[in-house]
Amino acid sequence: LAKTTQPISMDSYEGQEVNITCSHNNIATNDYITWYQQFPSQGPRFIIQGYKTKVTNEVASLFIPADRKSSTLSLPRVSLSDTAVYYCLVATLGNMLTFGGGTRLMVKP
Amino acid sequence: NAGVTQTPKFRVLKTGQSMTLLCAQDMNHEYMYWYRQDPGMGLRLIHYSVGEGTTAKGEVPDGYNVSRLKKQNFLLGLESAAPSQTSVYFCATRDRGLRQPQHFGDGTRLSIL
């Protein structure tokens, strides 16, 4: 399973755009990138996933360059409630997920 | 999280005791998973199931057993609890089909003294 590397923590302020970059240098052809969000005392919650280029939903955007060795989760205009841990994962077609340590995002007023 | 219910939410055990954690889902999903999460770390897969009557080992299966007698339930058992199994346990489900996301329960916090 492809290993991912992402920053341990990030700080932001309300209303700002937050970009969290994840590297996955040994991603395989059939793998896809998926992001989860976890609040304290809750299970992870699916945010977005993609294979290449750009994917956007009502919560976030995901940018994946052509070589797919990295990806960037973009959260527009964050609020205090976006304070959470964000996990970048590379999933195989069988959807076996390997979680790393995640990025702890702290949004300040 | 709607659809995935874990029982109990909290439990304290003594070393050597046994217990079973229950995961129940009402989404009719084929796949179910058990993870553990230790402080400050990501989740690690213990066991999983790709359908009723099937189970398979994940990354950290030792000390645990599982059963999937009914499609909607996935049980995780600790036969002889050890302090190293103190953790938060999460169950997840996934629908059949390529690239379907996993849906997680809110976890069971287990302490073993």
Concatenated DSSP letters for chain B? Answer: -TTEEEE-SEEEE-TT--EEEEEEESS--SEEEEEEE-TTS-EEEEEEESSTT--EE-SS-TT-EEE-SSTTEEEEEESS--GGG-EEEEEEEE-SSTTPPEEE---EEEEE-
Task: Give the residue ranges of chain A where pLDDT is below 50.
Answer: none
Residues 8-67 of A with CB under 8 A from B: 32, 34, 41-46, 49
With contacts defined as CB-CB under 8 Å, which chain B residues touch A96?
A: 45, 48
B90 and A43: CB-CB below 8 Å?
yes
The predicted structure's pLDDT at residue B2? 58
The predicted structure's pLDDT at residue A95? 60
The predicted structure's pLDDT at residue B100? 86
Q: Kindly state whether A87 is in contact with chain B, defined as any CB-CB distance less than 8 angstroms.
A: yes
- Digit-by-digit pLDDT tens for chain B (113 residues) are 459 999 999 999 999 999 999 999 999 999 999 999 998 888 899 999 999 999 999 989 999 999 999 999 999 999 999 999 999 999 999 998 778 889 999 999 999 99
Q: Kindly state whether A92 is in contact with chain B, defined as any CB-CB distance less than 8 angstroms.
A: no
The predicted structure's pLDDT at residue B64? 97
B43 and A44: CB-CB below 8 Å?
yes
Q: How far apart are CA A33 and CA B31, in angstroms?
A: 19
Contacts of B29 (CB under 8 A, 6+ apart): B93, B94, B95, B96, B103
